[in-house]
Structure 1
Amino acid sequence: MPVLAMLFAVFVVAFEELVEWRFGVAGVFALVLLSIGWHAKNVTCSCVGAVVLTLLLVH
């Protein structure tokens, strides 16, 4: 189980670095909003994060 948690943590950090490299600070901000909204079950927060990420992907 600890190995699985470690692999998941490495994946999350690598994904965050990829988003920051590709989309900059706005991408990290959108990703944080999306995760906070997901964990807090706040639809508004997660929708704002998803919209910002979508706009960054389309741009």
Structure 2
Amino acid sequence: MPLIAIVVAALALGFEQLVQWKYGPLGIIAFVLITVGIKAKNTTCGGIGALILVLLLTQSG
């Protein structure tokens, strides 16, 4: 069980670094909002984070 937690944490950190590298500080803010929204079960917070991330994805494409 601890091995799975370590792997999940490593993947989350890797994804966070990828978002920061590709989308900058605004990408990290969006990622944090999504994470906080999921953990707090707050759909507004998660939705705002997802909207920011979608806007960043469409802007760079």
1:1-59 paired onto structure 2 within 5 Å: 1-59=1-59
| AA matched with 1:36 | V
Which whole-Å deviations, capped at 9, do the CAs of 1:7-55 have from their partners, x for residues lacking one? 1111010000000000000000000001101111111111100000000
Compute the TM-score of the two structures, normalised by the length of structure 2.
Answer: 0.92
TM-score after normalising by structure 1: 0.95
CA-based RMSD: 0.6
Percent identity between the aligned chains?
Answer: 44
Unaligned 5+ segments in structure 2 are none
Structure 2 Cα separation of the partners of residues 32 and 58 of structure 1: 19
In structure 1, runs of 5+ residues without a counterpart are none
Runs (4+) off by over 6 Å: none
